[in-house]
């Protein structure tokens, strides 16, 4: 079976897409490429907080352009040394408690 047999578009909402995975659960998937100015990012965070109160299961992923990142500078390393090494700061993915309660094995 192809992946399209399991994933179907439910309803577009601005830049968000609702998906169903053939699991009997509807999940809102938001893919984010955050704006670069502080004001635009603040507006994004506020709209995402508003959305969380309106929806059930929700996954949010992407590039958040968040300078407030306090962990390591890079989130991924290819395991090589010297001239062959690559360090990258990869996108992040979050999900809400509603989704985690349905799929507690997600970490």
Q: Is pLDDT of 7 > 70? A: no
- pLDDT of 66 reads 57
Residue 6: what pLDDT?
43
Query: Between 55 and 95, where is the model more confident?
Result: 95
Spatial contact of 32 and 20, defined as CB atoms under 8 Å apart? no
CA angle 53, 54, 56 (to 5 degrees): 90
Nearest to 94 by CA among 69, 68, 57, 47: 57
What integer pLDDT is reported at residue 34 of this predicted model? 64
pLDDT in tens, 15-45: 545 555 566 777 777 777 766 677 877 787 7
Structure tokens at 40: 């635009």
Segment 69-97, tens digit of pLDDT: 566 677 778 899 888 888 877 677 778 88
CB 27 within 8 A of CB 21: yes
């Amino acid at each position: 079976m192809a992946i399209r047999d399991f994933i179907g578009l439910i309803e577009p909402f601005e830049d968000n897409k609702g998906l169903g995975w053939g699991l009997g659960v509807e999940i809102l998937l938001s893919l984010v490429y955050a704006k670069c100015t502080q004001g635009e990012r603040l507006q994004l965070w506020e709209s995402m907080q508003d959305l969380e109160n309106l929806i059930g299961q929700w996954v949010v992923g992407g590039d958040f352009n968040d300078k407030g990142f306090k962990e390591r500078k890079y989130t991924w390393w290819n395991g090589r040394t010297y001239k062959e090494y690559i360090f990258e700061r990869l996108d992040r993915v979050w999900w809400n408690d509603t989704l985690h309660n349905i799929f507690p094995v997600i970490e």
